[in-house]
Amino acid sequence: MKATIVPNEIEVRHSVRPDVGREFLTFDVPNGWDDVKKICKKVLLFDGRKFTFSGWNSDGNYCCFFRPLAGEPQTAKIL
């Protein structure tokens, strides 16, 4: 049996916070800031929805991206 690594995909945890009007993606960054700085200016696409950087927790080594529940975040494509 063979397995193939899927390029440009990471494992995430999805959560919804109706009380703050946002949904979140969180994922581990085991190398701390070295991992975060590579992804913090990116837009993540999850289930057809765009998420932008929210912050990271240096104690727990995880990163958070968010999107508003009412609509998409404003992003621009770099050409």
Dump pLDDT digits (tens) for 43-65: 999 999 999 999 999 999 999 99
* Cβ atoms 63, 56 nearer than 8 A: yes
Greatest distance between any 2 Cα atoms in the chain:
46
Q: What is the model's pLDDT at position 19?
A: 96
pTM here?
Answer: 0.86
Instruction: Encode pLDDT of 11-54 as tens digits.
Output: 999 999 999 999 999 999 999 999 999 999 999 999 999 999 99
**Spacing of C-alpha 70 from chain mean position:** 18
Band the pLDDT of 2: cuts 50, 70, 90: confident
Angle at 9 between CA 30 and CA 19, to 5 degrees: 75
Provide Rg for the chain, Cα atoms.
14
